[in-house]
Chain A
Amino acid sequence: MEKTIANKTIEVSDEVYLLNFSDWNKELGEGIAQEEGITMTDDHWKVIDYIQHQYKNDVPLTIRKIGKSGVVDIKGFYSLFPEGPLKKASRISGIPKPVSCI
């Protein structure tokens, strides 16, 4: 479906994750963060950069991996993106929802 965030109309999944990573820009990330009730700071962006970098290299993301990234520890990740940090950070990063089986 289509959705307008930060004055940009983009294709998103039913759960409102970007369908095309190429649509992403910083303003859009900021807009999604606002929807999630998060005010972005430099620390937030460092995590988003890390996540996008991993995504571009086809590395599956887990909370463990982010905790060991050297960018943020798990506790810190939770305080930056409270309640479901991996999902929220993935949405803001413009990447698909982290996968599972069923």
Chain B
Amino acid sequence: MWHKNIFDFYTYEGAKALRNKLREWEGGKLVIHITEMPIKCPVAPLEFAFLADSFFKNKGMRDKVDITFVTPLDGAFTKPKATEALHYLLEEKGIKEVTDFNIERVDYENNKIIDYADTEVEYDLLVTVTTNMGDALIERSGLGDDLNYIPTNKTTLQTEANENIFAIGDCTNLPASKAGSVAHFEAEILTENILRYIDGRELKEEFDGHANCFIETGHGKALLIDFNYTHEPVTGSFPFPGVGPLTLLKESRMNHMGKMAFKWIYWNMLITGRHLPFVTTKMQEAGKNFD
């Protein structure tokens, strides 16, 4: 079944196999499913659903495809502001939601996923996000919890295991996305705190959980979200308060162009370790519409 009618897309093999499948698939029930949180990037499955809608429309076969988004959370969007601002996308694209679904088993014979409350969802093509765990190395080290995440102080990035061990990125148990932007914003504070530790100075409790990401919504448009531990994603402008040119929590073509431009920024600035102008480590509160 694996890579025949059940696929993942967080691995190269999975993504490639799914691409090949989608090229020849003639339609039916497409189910996009998240096994359990946390996953690498919480919005990627939703982005996949939006792009699938766009892909099948472009192929002229959207009417042959039934798209359902199945999540263990209480909605595709769970924060009040994001739900209010973005729920229309699901309705507009005809994507159904099955919420609070905690999978217990897959019925391979009848092509169904079944949860602990005995809710059943039928699929012809299942795109699932399997349980995401930290690296096996973390397990061998004995530093991790049962998902191989290292218990880490959420503001200093010092691990609870030992004062001379610090952690960054998706190996931590921080209540933040396991996404690249989080690791990027953590890096500066991590460096600062390691230097402070070596000098015997007090650590800075500075990491605020800042994350920032584009969400492709299909048809050449995208969303941009910017948030941290305490502030949920809200509407506003980015990176210049009141100016933009990118809009937060709102679909636009400019955001899609931003994402395209980000490809270049990623390979030429982020990976090479150059400082990103205008994007701050701590989340900026100006230009955002908080209550």
Contact = CB atoms under 8 A, between A and B. Distances in A.
Interface string A36-79: 00000000000000000000000010111100100000110110
A10 B82 CA distance: 26
Nearest to A57: B151
B200 interface: no
Interface residues of A, number: 20
Contacts of B104: 74-75
A22 interface: no
B25 to A, nearest CB: 28
Contacts of A77: 116
Contacts of B72: 63
Given A74-B104, A101-B42, A102-B233, 4 more contacts: A62-B36, A102-B79, A102-B82, A102-B225
A84 B100 contact: yes
Interface of B: 36-37, 42-43, 72-74, 77-80, 82, 86, 100, 102, 104, 116-117, 146-147, 173, 175, 177, 211, 225, 227, 232-233
Given A60-B173, A60-B175, A75 B116 contact: yes
Interface string A1-31: 0000000000000110000000000000000
Interface string A91-102: 000000001111
Contacts of A99: 175
The secondary-structure label for the interface of chain B is: loop
B173 A78 contact: no
B117 A78 contact: yes
Which of A62, A74, A83, A99 is most buried by chain B, counting CB atoms within 10 A of its CB? A99
B80 A100 contact: no
A101 B43 contact: yes
B225 A100 contact: no
A78 B74 CA distance: 15
9 contacts: A14-B80, A62-B36, A63-B102, A65-B146, A82-B117, A83-B117, A100-B37, A101-B78, A102-B225
A87 B42 contact: no
